[in-house]
Homo-oligomer: A and B are copies of this chain.
């Protein structure tokens, strides 16, 4: 049996390895906890483990391995009277938890212990002295731990260890120096809301089983439509499992609007349909076209200017070309915030063209939609109010936990008629409440995850002004980065001028390349720089930022800032880290 002081708090450091700067999760947590003047950390420690239980001292001996760890009561005296006196996870299984008879006590203890593990992780996520990632190669990670599934159950001690281990190898997506994706950050209210969503464990298809969530979806989508600028917030919409699906919905609805017979008859009954989007747009437009039976050849990529914005004259030219061939232009998808450059297509010009040729205008504002919350930046989406549909992912720039993507549609009722199949086992027509709240038949999905609550609760907690402040700050940080590197030795900007979104695209040119002429060899060597620096970042675990080639441009860094935890110092750190890791290349 473990001695007092090496009990629950040995979690995460059971093998004595881990982050070298930070000897064990338990200690990190306790160091944080000890900072609290009121002793809240000790309180958390003491809870459920007996008041005699104290956190392991910093610098103490290596904790025993998980197999010998005793998670629950660790009192020395037996019999003891502490609240977990007879809770020993090594002898408990899932079958001892609720709904088991007498399951409340172990359930509350177990869930509280899971929560303690999560709270430790949350605190560590924001601690700059911890790694963003404890990277292991796939084959290493597969060998390092037994992940296999077996016939026999494991005890709850092992289950708690799995939780710890899973988080040990996780990316801290809330870490102030995690910049790798458009979705970064960990919002505390959003997290709380997502926990609640999991606990409510229901489904969006009918009001009957998700009354509050259905109403909140109604309220939230209406508000989003108001912000887009549709009169009175009228229209329709849905939360879908991500921007790619939202864009596919737009394409589906646009096609149905023009040729409703396609629902029954398929593409055989309609002429060849053509969609237009920019060469910098998201690949989901092509994925959608492939899936919907339109075909990727029928997605025409419109040229962009040097900043990555669609060129309207090229759009019009290609529309005319297509019409001349007898094909039918049915959708233009303009992008508000492209994935790599963060460019905003000129929506007003695109709207004029769509109007002229009677084409459905979709705006993929998955990434840029958040800027609508900012009085300072929303002009970049001028014209979005003329769109027929808009994709807007609050899980990106607005920092809502994954997943939260909305498709907004200007015309009400279209989604329903496009997708409905009247399943009589779900959408009974003789229910006792207003059936317009059974929204499930609008979707391609049957069951649909509750994605709205975290956005709604965050909105209540931050207000529109809170989102605005977050967005303004991220854009300011991007400008700060741009201003530092635009004239700094060793940096080349991928495109000129201040970024419109938080995307800052640049090459880091190591000293050895700075002297070379601008020829093919230099390009070839430059293309290898970002991947090596990125690999080193991950191995050190200090920060993460993305890179990619684009068109004729070799691998460059794409910095994006949506993380509310990031500060000027983190931007400075990123620059220093790139230089440190790339100096010898």
Contact = CB atoms under 8 A, between A and B. Distances in A.
A158 interface: yes
B446 A242 contact: yes
The size class of the interface chain A forms with chain B is 35 or more
Given A153-B461, A432-B531, A461-B159, A171 B138 contact: no
A201 B401 contact: yes
A449 B395 CA distance: 11
Contact of A245 (B223, B423, B445): B445
A169 B200 CA distance: 10
B262 A268 contact: no
Contacts of A457: 159, 162-163
A459 B158 CA distance: 12
Interface string A80-115: 011111100000011101110001110111111011
Given A43-B83, A283-B421, A212 B38 contact: no
B264 A295 contact: yes
A344 to B, nearest CB: 18
A298 B163 contact: no
A460 B104 CA distance: 21
Contact of A123 (B98, B214, B546): B98
A584 interface: no
A9 interface: no
A460 B162 contact: yes
Given A154-B460, A267-B267, A546 B425 contact: yes
Give the 7 A-B CB pairs with smallest separation, nearest first.
A293-B293, A266-B295, A99-B565, A267-B267, A267-B293, A432-B535, A194-B198
B98 A424 contact: no
B47 A43 contact: yes
Contact of A48 (B43, B158, B159, B194): B43
B295 A292 contact: no
Given A114-B195, A173-B201, A531-B430, A447 B242 contact: yes
Contacts of A187: 94
Interface string A545-585: 01111100001001000001100000000000000000000
A382 interface: no
A174 B154 contact: no
Interface string A506-547: 000000000000000000000010010011001000001011
A219 to B, nearest CB: 5
Contacts of A201: 173-174, 186, 191, 401-402
Most buried by B among A174, A252, A447, A462: A447
A431 interface: yes
A414 interface: no
Interface stretch (A203-211, A301-309, A311-319, A492-500): A203-211
A464 B272 CA distance: 50
A448 interface: yes
B176 A419 contact: no
Contacts of A296: 263-264, 421
Nearest to A419: B287
Most buried by B among A82, A286, A287, A453: A287
Contacts of A484: none
A405 to B, nearest CB: 8
Contacts of A422: 283
B36 A105 contact: yes
A199 B402 contact: no
Most buried by B among A188, A193, A269, A565: A188
A230 interface: no
9 contacts: A40-B48, A47-B47, A99-B564, A104-B123, A148-B223, A170-B202, A202-B402, A208-B544, A339-B425
A434 B137 contact: yes
A158 B447 CA distance: 31
Interface in A119-171: 119, 121-123, 126, 135-139, 141-142, 147-154, 156, 158-159, 162-163, 165-167, 169-171
A337 interface: no
A465 interface: yes
Contact of A176 (B44, B99, B118): B99
B199 A107 contact: no
A288 B47 CA distance: 52
A108 B119 CA distance: 7
A341 to B, nearest CB: 11
Interface string A379-409: 0000000000000000100000111010000
B181 A209 contact: yes
A244 interface: yes
A110 to B, nearest CB: 7
Given A167-B196, A339-B425, A446-B242, A538 B203 contact: no
Contacts of A119: 108, 111-112
Interface string A340-379: 1000000000000000000000000000000000000000
